Structure 1
Amino acid sequence: MEPRRLRGRDGCPGRAHRRCRPLRGRRRRQVIPRPVHIHYLRPPDRLEVFHQTLVHEDASVLVTLARNVELREPVVVDGRVVLEPGSDAVWFTFPGVWHDIGRFHTRDGRFTGIYANVLTPPEIREGDEWHTTDLFLDVWLDPNGNVRVLDEDELERARAQGWVDRILATRARIEARELREWAEAGTWPPPIVSEWTRERALQVLAAAASDESR
């Protein structure tokens, strides 16, 4: 397959704690919880579809739970496993924003920290099909408040290979830098990330299962 060259585009300024405009041209479905399907392109041509459960939505954020995640290998930061096969993650997707946020755990449910993927603003389509493109950079915030920008070498390689253009690579670096600065200032992540814990998301699923059994 011919490597896909990505070009920059406009979007919200990337501030997850600011409200972006509601999605237009799409009638909001109010059934909660419900399945969603996230089409995640990693340039040049690796497309994965993640199946998660939507547990909360409003005009500024969509909260999903990924149960028993499938990974090729554990996610390791500074020599510590922060997400492993079979564990759960709570994801926060912000329409119009250039990153998402995940609450990571080990298999026993222990919270390990906050992980943000820098990506293109998601396209939310009919049938709860979401589409986004990974921009390689990630930001990690551990429970002690230590923050790191990850995978800068991967973005450099993608730029050298022509998988992303200069404008888009610059936009990714700006987003990662701002997230790091906000985290260091104590203004990021937004409050909803601490409000929607794994336990709260599981309670939504349990309540729905109980209602169905009546």
Structure 2
Amino acid sequence: MKIHLIYRRIPNRILERDDDVVADLGEVVIAKSRFEGMLVPLKVNGVEVIRNGYTMLYFAFIGENYDVLKVYDENGEFKGLYVDVLAYTKREGNTIEMLDLFLDIFVFPDGRAFLLDEDELEMALNYGVIDRDTFDFAYSVAREILERLKRGEFPPEVVWKY
């Protein structure tokens, strides 16, 4: 079974693809995909964590303001969790739509977490691509996730079951 993903990025970038469904739990869809089309690998704290060819198991939480990607290298080694801060996650049948709010969090297997792309969010505000409410909302979601991580309440349990 496939799920159609529509991943929107302000102001007008849209990524669409069909991914293999691993599990459809209704309010959580788990799908498998591959990183492709990256111009450069992603490094966090000096460590390469994502590059083309790596695989992801992603968890789309319907109605939530985040998704979670479990990242694996070509050898199947777990590299960490990548969390997108989202305005929304909606589902209609076999289509999931998300709107990205720039901020991301990477969590290493040892639990160290890093907030990413603050510069992109700041630029979006400065250039009028987003308003102050959207800016503040993105930070509030990111702060909540980071706090939940510290308390051991994030990610949701389902992430460790797959």
Q: What TM bracket, shorter-length normalisation?
A: over 0.9
> More strand per residue: 1 or 2?
2
| SS in structure 2 of the partner of residue 170 of structure 1 | helix
Per the normalisation by structure 1, the TM-score is: 0.71
Matches within 5 A, 1:102-121: 102-121=69-88
| Structure 2 residue aligned with 1:90 | 57
Deviations 1:24-78 (Å, cap 9, x if unpaired)? xxxxxxxxxx111211111111111132111112243111111x32132322211
Stretches of 4+ moved more than 2 A in 1?
none
Residues 79, 51 of structure 1: alpha-carbon distance in 2 compared, 3 angstrom cutoff: farther
Is 1:55–2:22 an aligned residue pair?
Answer: yes
Matches within 5 A, 1:17-56: 34-56=1-23
Displacement after TM superposition at 1:180 (Å)? 0.6
| Partner AA of 1:179 in structure 2 | I
Matches within 5 A, 1:31-180: 34-66=1-33, 68-72=34-38, 73-126=40-93, 128-180=94-146
- Determine what percentage of the aligned residue pairs are the same residue: 31
| Structure 1 residue aligned with 2:148 | 182
| SS in structure 2 of the partner of residue 54 of structure 1 | strand
| SS in structure 2 of the partner of residue 122 of structure 1 | strand
Q: Is residue 141–residue 183 contact of structure 1 (8 Å, CA) maintained in 2?
A: no
Instruction: Give the number of equivalent residue pairs.
Output: 161
Q: Is residue 44–residue 114 contact of structure 2 (8 Å, CA) maintained in 1?
A: no
Per the normalisation by structure 2, the TM-score is: 0.93
| SS in structure 2 of the partner of residue 194 of structure 1 | helix
Deviations 1:117-140 (Å, cap 9, x if unpaired)? 0012222123x2222211000011
| Structure 1 spans left out of the alignment, 5+ residues | 1-33, 197-214
